[in-house]
């Protein structure tokens, strides 16, 4: 059941990545920290591992060597991200540029405030 949750997080990150051109730092890491109670190091390492080819390969190796990557989680997140990216990219094409900028800005502010003031 937890694997499905990781897949859903990957889908959400993929959709947001396709929609806004973002994912790891603004979606995956907060989700892995707050929803799945990973440490910041684990979340960053797992996020990098999910996006390895070729992005983040050298950084992911360092996180792996330090024991901060959950390979199973990274695989499910990567699968969800792959599929979700298609749907996010498709939806983004139907949204006007000014509206997309506004949605992106609001999303980043909400995530930033939550990261700053949250536990």
The domain of 25 spans 2-117
Q: In tens digits, what is the pLDDT along the chain, a chain of 119 residues?
A: 889 999 998 888 888 877 776 766 788 888 888 899 998 889 888 887 887 676 677 878 898 999 999 999 999 998 998 899 889 888 888 988 889 888 878 988 998 898 899 87
* Domains of the chain: total: 1
Which of the 8 DSSP states describes residue 40? H
Per-residue pLDDT, 89: 83
Let me know: does 41 contact 17? Beta carbons within 8 Å.
Answer: no
Instruction: Phi first, then psi: give them for residue 56, nearest 5 degrees.
Output: 75, 10
The position carrying tokens 């109670």 is 37
């Amino acid at each position: 059941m937890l694997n499905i949750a990781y897949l859903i997080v990957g889908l959400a990150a993929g959709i947001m990545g396709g929609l806004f051109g973002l994912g790891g730092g603004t979606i995956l890491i907060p989700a892995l920290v707050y929803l799945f109670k990973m440490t910041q190091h684990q979340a960053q390492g797992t996020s990098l591992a999910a996006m390895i080819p070729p992005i983040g390969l050298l950084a992911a190796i360092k996180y792996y060597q330090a024991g901060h990557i959950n390979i199973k989680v990274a695989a499910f997140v990567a699968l969800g991200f792959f599929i979700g990216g298609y749907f996010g990219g498709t939806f983004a094409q139907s949204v006007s540029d000014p509206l997309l900028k506004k949605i992106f800005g609001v999303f980043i502010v909400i995530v930033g405030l939550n990261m700053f003031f949250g536990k």
